[in-house]
Amino acid sequence: MSRNDAAPGTVTAPPGRIRRLLSLLYVQCLIGVLAGAAVGWLWPSFGADLKPLGDSFIALVRMMIAPVIFCTVIHGIASMGNARAVGRVSLKALIYFEVLTTVAMVIGLVVVNLVKPGSGLHVDPSTLSTEGLPPEATQSHESVSAFVLSNIPDTLPGALTGHEILPVLLVSVLFGFGLNAAGEAGAGITQGIEKLSKILFTLIRWIMRLAPIGAFGSMAFTIGNYGLDTLRHLFLLVGSFWLTALFFVLVVLGTVMRINGLRLLPFLRYIKEELLIVLGTSSSEPVLPRMMAKLQHAGASKPVVGITLPAGYSFNLDGTAIYLTMGSVFLAQALGIDLSLTQQLSMLAVMLLTSKGAAGVTGSGFIALAATLSAVPHVPVAALALIFGIDRFMSEARALTSVVGNGVATLAVAKWEGQLDMARAKAVMSGEIPYTSAPETDRAHEPQGGPKQQISPVLDAKPKETEAAELKSAAGSDRDPVPTAG
């Protein structure tokens, strides 16, 4: 029986619509997450063995992170053409990061003191052991001066071969200012870096096609290795942490979006593919290149995106901030340690340092918590064994909160700098201008207002105008062409 001969009242889904639906990355990732959870639940041993699928995908993306940040930050600074403008954007971003991180920590501190998820466990500290914890959690942690020195690479190329973001940012900023100071000699290098970044984003698009497989493997490992029953024992901590993270996103970040004339829910719908990838892999790193492209598509200028978003991955980990306060106080409650308000505030001050510089990879929050406990005498590091088994179930919330927080931060800084096209941002988030990952070289048309102009501050012979005018010019001409709707 053909589709036209179907019985009256029968509803059949058009095959073309199903194919289009299955071709969407977020649908593929959702299927991967659900399939991985089912495999891990039904065949735990087999699911645990699928860990290399998720690890391989994350490794492929991490391989591209350093060169992408290097090219984007350098081109962003060169496009601004004004050291004071770059410094102003960076200062505003850092102030925003510090304020929002502090707010996240305070909210976590309030919730954990009200809910008291660790009260009543009465764990004997003498029974705790660091055996079974990852080596990074038990090693001695560096002082503030050692932390600063560790982020200065031995060589310039060495920053691109490591796994830390801060050394890459340091080298990129210095190199960007160096190109500006080089005058005409740096113009060709700047154009070459821009072309290299296009090649890198093409490679990223190819790698992202493997995201559903990576999400499948990571979720199968999580459920297969830890089991759903693990949540039963410490459900109150996990549940309260997820709800706190959700409150922070909806209320705090929602308020920031409202203040800047935008709405949070349309933005969440706009980045739903990235959120599902983060949910499946428990890591925010795989979506960094796509978030940069999507924020530019939403109307934020390339210089602001190139500076703010990568910096947020080191300085604006809102999810980790909430986790640090809730995790440390939970452990104190479980051990029967009564922390005074002064002691909790001193821990919060330490956390403002230990939360910085952590890469957005699975387990970084747990290592940051270990660094916090080793820096204060109130709670023994061995207490981490109490939550090590369920940390994986909280890493998704940490990564999701941080991804949304960094996206909102980038839009906010762009708005404050006058480098956000508000009309375009609203149109993109409402779906009027859909995002496609079409290669930049294949885009059919340029944005409204004429063809894209090559920004070359060192070759610009016109007299300099005010800083605001320079930033506005950079924002309008240096934004990537609008991707065509497929």
* pLDDT tens profile 132-163: 555 554 455 555 566 567 667 777 777 777 66
**Most confident stretch, 137-146, 318-327, 405-414:** 405-414
CA 474 vs CA 140, 166, 201, 349, 483: distances in Å: 46, 25, 21, 38, 19
What confidence score (pLDDT) does residue 475 get?
43
Q: What share of the chain is helix, strand, coil (3-state, %, to 5)?
A: 70, 0, 25
What confidence score (pLDDT) does residue 486 get?
35
Classify 259 as helix, strand or coil.
Answer: helix
Describe the crossing of helices 302-315 and 83-115 by its angle, rounded to 10 degrees: 40
Share of the chain above pLDDT 70, in %: 70
Q: What is the pTM of this model?
A: 0.68
What confidence score (pLDDT) does residue 243 get?
92
Question: Which backbone phi and psi does 70 adopt, to 5 degrees?
Answer: -55, -50
Task: Please say whether the beta carbons of 367 and 164 come within 8 A.
Answer: no
Q: Mean pLDDT over residues 400-427, rounded?
A: 92
Q: Mean pLDDT over residues 174-183, rounded?
A: 76
Q: Is the dihedral of CA 3, 7, 13, 19 positive or negative?
A: negative
Confidence of residue 445 (pLDDT cuts 50, 70, 90): very low
Confidence of residue 265 (pLDDT cuts 50, 70, 90): very high
Among the residue ranges 123-132, 361-370, 429-438, the one predicted with the least confidence is 123-132
Among the residue ranges 92-101, 108-117, 474-483, the one predicted with the least confidence is 474-483
Question: Which backbone phi and psi does 454 adopt, to 5 degrees?
Answer: -75, 125
What confidence score (pLDDT) does residue 186 get?
73
Task: Please say whether the beta carbons of 244 and 115 come within 8 A.
Answer: no
Q: Which helix (DSSP H) or strand (DSSP E) does residue 459 occupy?
A: none
Q: Mean pLDDT over residues 387-408, rounded?
A: 82
What confidence score (pLDDT) does residue 267 get?
94
Question: Which backbone phi and psi does 434 adopt, to 5 degrees?
Answer: -70, 150
Query: How far apart are alpha carbons 257 and 251 in whole angstroms?
Result: 10
What confidence score (pLDDT) does residue 415 get?
92
Nearest to 172 by CA among 361, 303, 354: 303
Task: Please say whether the beta carbons of 308 and 73 come within 8 A.
Answer: no
Nearest to 157 by CA among 145, 175, 182: 175
Confidence of residue 361 (pLDDT cuts 50, 70, 90): very low
